[in-house]
Structure 1
């Protein structure tokens, strides 16, 4: 855990330094965004709701912004990164479970057959999540995820997963916070998984992550109280679940919401239908050269109904190919040592 924290910290410093340098060279916010209508809409909204004396002024305690994670803050191909983590965990644990060679969904995973795995639906996925996420304390789970993030690479890009966040979106998060907004992640992914890296990667602390979650139980054996995650699903924070999760976990209706798929439709509808100034945003994956181009026919991050709803609802659609100067972070660094003397490689 120490190594991944140092790894992320060093990398975060470099990217932050780059962003600060870019801002010093030009006072305009969001330096990784092109000067398009999308950027103008974002900056105009944030300025008008934070300027005292403005007819649209919103006090700081009401400045809540929520962001989906997969496909909105970082990439999601060839599959959601938590799914890829779980598949890697099955392979790592397989020597301890010889029965998995003939038991589903594990046999499919060991054969790298993702299409068949997804065809098994929720039952297969929940069984896999239970085998790789349950019967651990949060601290034990954090260590497993941190180890994976420190070593695993995306099979399509060869990049570390931690290097596949969107630089323009990180700048947007920072800009919102500089204007008195409180930023939250609201994801269909597991809250415990995202909390491992959300603070170092996005500046969003664990308590500001709203996600799907498993049930837990309390144990007090040998005078060592522990909270253990079980394999029973408690809440799925997707589609209709997102407004419910926000209402229950945050307690305020946000004024700014960003997503990228039909799984974010209800969140965007609910946020932007509230009283006063509201902002809804969709990330449209249109850049096949620098990332991927997909929407209606994608197995992952399908964007159809939400895209149709954007114009009548006044949501801003961010065209990645046109609106972003860069997609992934551009800062690279040579090998360094953390304070414990371990070698730390920044993602590339």
Structure 2
């Protein structure tokens, strides 16, 4: 396979494919249903899930933190960019994605706003970039001409790869000689061991299983590169927030409380709760991966969004010509106004979390 040029592979977040018509649809309205309590048009929020996983929103609902607000599963998402596009166009009421995808969608005039962080990287939850144990690749320049397998292009994994290469002193031309490839996550490790790629991006259960087999070593991890950081946010349309302020506040606050609960409750108890949730929903899902769960990786105890965590990707996209910086206003991209969660207080486990430092 020939090496892709920089313009060829810099189609950042082409999965978004947000047309002017789609953006207009997001501004025109969102289908609503459910009750009409507290002046809201709906107290039921539609969303997409993930096979075999329990999202913070699903955990919040099960813990009772959403009070009378309901979440209605309408299917599983294929990617973060697809998930937030569904929210922007009114097919769902909230969606989550890598913050770079959120920035890109907003720059395409979708009237969305990030309301809470829902995943990130820390010492327990991170994405690693792995090579074979005997690989000659030791640093950024060794990646010239190499293939890097990842779950999707133009999102978290590719962004962190670029940052690693840039910090290693590679020019834009040199970075263009490193070839990211989209591979199904379940096949990425095998592709590395068979020599079809030189680097595999692995996380969660797939990372832990691969490390248990041996024969691979980390080149770097996103946590090593940036430290603890929240990487993705739930978004809602501005119209939905305006029409349903009470439901939005209850939802965001409930998710924040669930994040706090997950980090202050014994890991075994969290995993047991998640396993029960997956078993009860009856979708014929394998719960084996849940035993490897360690954290959601969100930096702030209750998921409050930090402006610098979004600004990083505004700068990254703008520097590559993928974004007109003048079309994006950081203060319009996110809000913590709906998050009333406290990191301290009683939880279903009877534990008392550590107070939050978030504003």
Give the structure-2-normalised TM-score. Answer: 0.29
Give the structure-1-normalised TM-score. Answer: 0.30
